[in-house]
Amino acid sequence: MTQQKKIILELVKGTKAHPTADWIYEESRKQLPKISLGTVYRVLNELSESGLIKGLNLGNQKHFDGFTAPHSHVICRSCGKIEDVVLESDSGLQTTIQNLTNYTISEQNYEFYGLCPICQNK
């Protein structure tokens, strides 16, 4: 594992904020001033493909998640905050989808949208 990969992995695993590549780039430059944005994107793709992190297509930007256990997300429509939600397995829904489509389901992802408590109080 290269130094760049190690630092980027630590940044993603070290936050619950579901950062974007731009945020990761800015943070990684504090330790690796000469790192390029292209390198950050390449490393993020490699880490995602290897399963060490998850790439999330939420809203209009790609975010990255260091929590790789099965879970869902709740997203604030006002400020964009993303939080992890661990749900009990919904095998009934999975069975229904399999029966309707004849697919073998290997993974489930749920996204919930609303207003976070801070935005509700504004």
42, 58 contact by CB (below 8 A): no
Mean predicted confidence (pLDDT) in 93-109: 88
- Locate 88 and state its tokens: 């009990």
Instruction: Answer whether 75's CB lies under 8 Å from 58's CB.
Output: yes
Nearest Cα to 8, choosing from 29, 16, 57, 83?
29
- Percent of the chain at pLDDT > 90 equals 73
Mean pLDDT along residues 1-15: 96
> What is the rounded average pLDDT for all residues in the chain?
92
Residues of the chain within CATH 3.30.1490.190 domain(s) are 72-120
28 C-beta neighbours (distance < 10 Å), count: 20
Q: What are phi and psi of 34, to 5 degrees?
A: -95, 5
% of the chain exceeding 70 in pLDDT: 97
What is the CATH T-level fold of the domain 3-65, as seen in this structure? Arc Repressor Mutant, subunit A (1.10.10)
pLDDT digits over 74-90, tens only? 999 999 999 999 887 66
pLDDT top residue among 60 and 34: 34
Dihedral sign (CA 42, 44, 45, 46): positive
Instruction: State the architecture of 72-120 in CATH terms.
Output: 2-Layer Sandwich (3.30)
Instruction: Read off the pLDDT of residues 12-28 as tens digits, 9 standing for 90 and up.
Output: 999 999 999 999 999 99
How far is the C-alpha of 34 from the C-alpha of 38, rounded, in Å? 12
Q: Which two tokens stand for residue 112?
A: 């919930």
Residue-level pLDDT at 90: 67
Between CA 61 and CA 95 the distance in angstroms is 31
The SS3 of residue 22 is: helix
Residue range(s) in the chain whose domain bears CATH number 1.10.10.10: 3-65
Q: For residue 91, what pLDDT is reported?
A: 67
The predicted structure's pLDDT at residue 79? 93
